[in-house]
Structure 1
């Protein structure tokens, strides 16, 4: 299913890749027609290292939904996407990390944190309700703080996960950022997470000129 998102005078065509009719996900030849792709890595068993070698993804944005196990399985492929901007959604979907002491929290997030040395990888601060359903998701704060400390706040991007979030939260709660953001980020860093980082990371990268409107 193809998606288009208009942003600051650009039309970003995004290809959503998941499980196909046969129960298997694959990367088709039409990927090259899109400025960005979304990958649900839990659904993909094929060797992405070999597959990416056959697809011209240079300059595109690759949004990833993955559990820690999938990040580990496809870690080499993610490293090879250094010509792209790779966005890991939902804090790497840690889910079961709330209330862990610091040492155990670091171990639980290790597969995501190992990607911090890759300058082309950023993390979406999204889907907070998945780890802590109660707004303002206070139990997720240590996770966000550790990821920010490891990746740096300039590589974190806020996302509401709209409209899926409405299955778990009211509209106001889905759209608001938690008050504890100001305990982790400075005022300038908050502005970056809420949009400035996206401007810098996405709009500064080359996009297929045929997609400009």
Structure 2
């Protein structure tokens, strides 16, 4: 079967949109050395990698552009130029902004926009420097989440396991805002104890019916991943959320640092039970992001 959706990937044209982190040479990141991806990554390349694996549509996730609006307008132009490839997008917008309604109005003028992402946590070391965790204590963040939901916009949530329970308390106050938990909550400690701690904390999220989970970015904390090494994460997510609230995302080209698209897709297809394929690889994302997808 084909007709899959990749619910989490990135594109960039370094001559059109400025990405400070992609311009920073020689800076090691929590996900590794970005040198190999510090170049243009366009839809044509992404399609050449994903389409042979049965992917027919995708969701572009903001990726640290200097201007979220510039990035969103560029992604819209890419979608307009490729009408045979259905693509939705999740944009960056600071939900604590004083002019949030005006910003969201502007974003919603772009027909591909489905949601917002504002990163709460990337990795323990980087979070200490960026201070993004402080969003959870800012009452304006909750107000922004609620405003997004009123407009029918979803929120893509990236954070680390240590913040899952605290964040769940915030999300519980925005029940009308659909939440996509990126990268399965970023379990960075892959020891048995670390995974057990993550799984217990994850319950705080999976108990919220408006939260769905992305099987994405699992290589960022396991650069030499194997199907066996990511199996426990996939099994826990499916058990806690159920297939109708789980969706696949490649996190390319970041996860391209750790392997090719075909190997990644095959590992997920093998690890997710066959009866859950249609939900995890298509239906959950299509419903969550309101994306119409061609099928065989």
Please state which band the TM-score falls in when normalised by the shorter chain: 0.7 to 0.9
1:167 aligns with 2:257: yes
Matches within 5 A, 1:1-213: 1-2=68-69, 3=72, 4=75, 6=79, 12=88, 14-17=90-93, 26-27=96-97, 29=100, 30-33=102-105, 34=107, 35-42=114-121, 43-46=132-135, 47-53=137-143, 56-58=147-149, 59-98=152-191, 100=192, 105-174=195-264, 176-178=265-267, 181-185=269-273, 187-203=274-290
Bigger relative contact order (CA 8 A; separation at least 6): 2
CA contact (8 A) 1:129 1:137 kept: no
* Residue of structure 2 in register with 1:207 after alignment: none
* Residue of structure 2 in register with 1:22 after alignment: none
Query: How far apart, CA to CA, are the structure 2 residues paired with 1:57 and 1:76?
Result: 17
Question: In the superposition, relative to structure 1, how do residues 83 and 11 fare at CA in structure 2: closer, same or farther (>3 Å)?
Answer: farther
Query: How far apart, CA to CA, are the structure 2 residues paired with 1:80 and 1:9?
Result: 36
Q: CA deviation at 1:160?
A: 0.3
Q: CA deviation at 1:49?
A: 4.2
Q: Secondary structure at the match of 1:36?
A: strand
CA contact (8 A) 2:181 2:213 kept: yes
Deviations 1:137-184 (A, max 9, x none): 42110121012111111111100001111223234435x2406x4454
Deviations 1:29-58 (A, max 9, x none): 145234411121021413344433256212
Q: Secondary structure at the match of 1:82?
A: coil
Q: Secondary structure at the match of 2:204?
A: helix
CA contact (8 A) 1:113 1:147 kept: no
Aligned-residue CA RMSD (Å) = 3.0
* Residue of structure 1 in register with 2:294 after alignment: none
The number of residue pairs the alignment matches comes to: 192
Q: What TM-score comes out, normalization by structure 2 length?
A: 0.56
List alignment gaps of at least 5 residues for structure 2. Answer: 1-67, 108-113, 122-131, 292-296
